[in-house]
A and B are shown apart, each in its own frame.
Chain A
């Protein structure tokens, strides 16, 4: 009798483990597939999203109240600082408008309707973050109904933060650039050097200790300096051109001395996201 029970328990454990492994393997394989998640999963996620909005509401309310209080404390010094900047801003705005108009005209003359720099923006608020040390993921409040597509680039107010990995009807998951996931989709980026040259590459990883993005697959080595701006290059078809990523922090030879690795200081803070913008390519 004892032996019978032992065997039964063992079989249950084995079956559960096998089912679990199969499910994990299945999720990993279909993760980057265009059709995922299936409708059933989408419905589940949408329902979770609705409940989450209700539960998170008071927490966000408290955070908002605390935030406004600290904002109020800083108002005076901030006001002094901003006054200086505002004066310059008006002139810059006019120049910008002129350039935009000129750009549009030139494009018309060239019969160039859509370029890599054209994109539509969709704003969404961040609902929640995975309570997990290994998934650097947030859930945002817009989904396929608002026009969000899988693999679209996501920006915070300051710069690029990640890409959309899963789209449901009313919410979607965003994988942040700070993930160390091996299978994460990479952004094609370029460094704009001081002497107007462009160095193309890919964001290949993230260094947790220094909080730098690692840019590899560099085309040429020369000319990059600390402080040069890094933007997305629009190559690869997922992100538009010209989204601000960060600045070059240091340039290093890679492990074999063949190509160089560029460490990029990200402009965005991956742990302080309230509202994000999804950049949708129009071409």
Chain B
């Protein structure tokens, strides 16, 4: 039996996406974090959603828990947020994907729901521990709207390359 090359490519891409998020936030900080908008780059979620939809990956939950742990340790220092959010996204995506036939629009809508859930849960955790005191209305205007717009644009750019990548390596 041939071992799927996806076994190596998935974790590799997962961590590249994870660290690219930080690098992009650093390089474009002037445009992404202004008084009126705060964009959270979530390439890593795009990678996970595309992998769930188009790839066949073993131990995906374990890998996402691990990536979430690295996110929490390295970026925030508050362990427990993304460790839960990332596998939750995998579960949600699998749950929704079951009911649809795959197409660009379907995956796009699933991705938008995932981003919304992740952003809202992350905001809620930070509100709970006093890292922010922005109100719900303020959060929607400041962070959620711009985060959705940015990640939507990235999705449109990367959907077809990623789809082809996952389909060709998962056979």
Residues of A within 8 A of B (CB): 16-17, 19-24, 26-28, 31, 37, 41, 44-45, 48-49, 51-52, 55-56, 59-60, 62-63, 126-139, 165-166, 173, 179-183, 208-211, 269, 271-273
Contact = CB atoms under 8 A, between A and B. Distances in A.
B27 interface: yes
B153 interface: no
A165 B78 CA distance: 12
The 3 closest A-B pairs by CB, nearest first: A23-B80, A133-B38, A128-B22
Given A134-B122, A181-B130, 5 more contacts: A41-B73, A48-B73, A129-B29, A136-B33, A179-B131
B36 to A, nearest CB: 8
26 contacts: A24-B78, A24-B80, A27-B78, A44-B74, A51-B15, A52-B19, A52-B22, A56-B23, A59-B23, A127-B26, A128-B25, A131-B21, A131-B24, A131-B25, A132-B76, A133-B143, A165-B77, A180-B133, A181-B131, A181-B132, A182-B130, A208-B35, A210-B35, A271-B29, A271-B32, A271-B33
A63 to B, nearest CB: 5
A137 B41 CA distance: 15
Given A20-B84, A52-B74, A60 B27 contact: yes
A128 B29 contact: no
B29 to A, nearest CB: 4
Nearest to B123: A134
Contacts of A63: 27
A101 B35 CA distance: 44
Contacts of A181: 130-132
Nearest to A173: B77
A182 B127 CA distance: 10
B104 interface: no
A150 B75 CA distance: 17
B80 A20 contact: yes
Contacts of B16: 55
Nearest to B27: A63
Nearest to A178: B33
A136 B41 CA distance: 14
B74 A48 contact: yes
Interface of B is mostly: helix
A173 B73 CA distance: 11
A174 B35 CA distance: 20
A137 B35 CA distance: 16
Chain B: interface size category: 35 or more
Nearest to B88: A16
A23 B80 CA distance: 5
A126 B30 CA distance: 14
Nearest to B29: A271
A262 to B, nearest CB: 20
Given A45-B73, A55-B20, A183-B130, A271 B30 contact: yes
Nearest to B22: A128
Contact of B33 (A16, A20, A41, A133): A133
Contact of B24 (A59, A136, A211): A59
Given A129-B29, A131-B42, A24 B73 contact: no
B132 to A, nearest CB: 4
B27 A59 contact: yes
Interface string B29-56: 1101111001111100000000000000
A51 B30 CA distance: 24
Contacts of A138: 26
A44 B78 contact: no
Contact of A26 (B73, B76, B79): B79
